């Protein structure tokens, strides 16, 4: 991921820096450029982020296919972005830990990285539950299965 010489750190996939910045951004457009560079870096460096982006696109296509209602889109969007956001945080934590411990092993570094990865796993679990709850009626309706639980119960009363 990163090669280290005496004073310079070169990250794979990063654009060539014009000038090293050590002060705060002087205007909005410099801050925007740095933000977009950060997004580009995570897409280039993190395989799992690319997987999350591809899955998000497939979820988008599936939602368009089934014609989700607005409230359903809200839940789907929140679920997808919780996972993407947690992957951003995981990458930040891993980078800071790597910066601090360098190539040395420390049990607290392992704990921080494992907990960050666990947070992504929990977010993915929540996303799967939300997506199952949202898409289940649409998929069942496609096969002619009753999806309204109260209609299902009334069917047995009669």
pLDDT computed for residue 152 by the predictor: 62
- Cα–Cα distance measured from residue 6 to residue 22, given in angstroms and rounded to the nearest whole number: 18
Would you state the CATH architecture of domain 47-149? Answer: Orthogonal Bundle (1.10)
In the prediction, which pLDDT does 141 show?
85
pTM of the model: 0.75
Enumerate the domain spans of the chain: 1-45, 47-149
Identify the pLDDT of residue 157: 63
User: What's the count of helices (H) and strands (E) in the chain, helices before strands?
Assistant: 5, 2
Distance CA 42, CA 8 (A): 20
Collect the ranges in the chain with pLDDT lower than 70: 1-19, 146-158
115 three-class SS = helix
């Amino acid at each position: 991921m990163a090669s280290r010489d005496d004073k310079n750190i070169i990250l794979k996939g990063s654009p060539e820096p014009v000038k090293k910045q050590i002060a705060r951004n002087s205007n909005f457009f410099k801050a925007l450029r740095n933000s977009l560079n950060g997004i580009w870096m995570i897409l280039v460096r993190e395989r799992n982020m690319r997987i999350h982006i591809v899955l998000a696109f497939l979820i988008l296509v599936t939602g368009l296919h089934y014609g989700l209602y607005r409230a359903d889109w809200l839940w789907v969007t929140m679920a997808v972005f919780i996972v993407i956001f947690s992957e951003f945080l995981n990458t930040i934590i891993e980078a800071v830990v790597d910066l601090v411990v360098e190539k040395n092993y420390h049990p607290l570094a392992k704990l921080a990285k494992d907990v960050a990865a666990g947070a992504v796993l929990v977010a993915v679990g929540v996303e799967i539950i939300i997506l199952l709850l949202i898409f289940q009626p649409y998929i069942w309706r496609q096969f002619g299965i009753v999806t309204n639980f109260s209609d299902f119960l009334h069917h047995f009363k009669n």
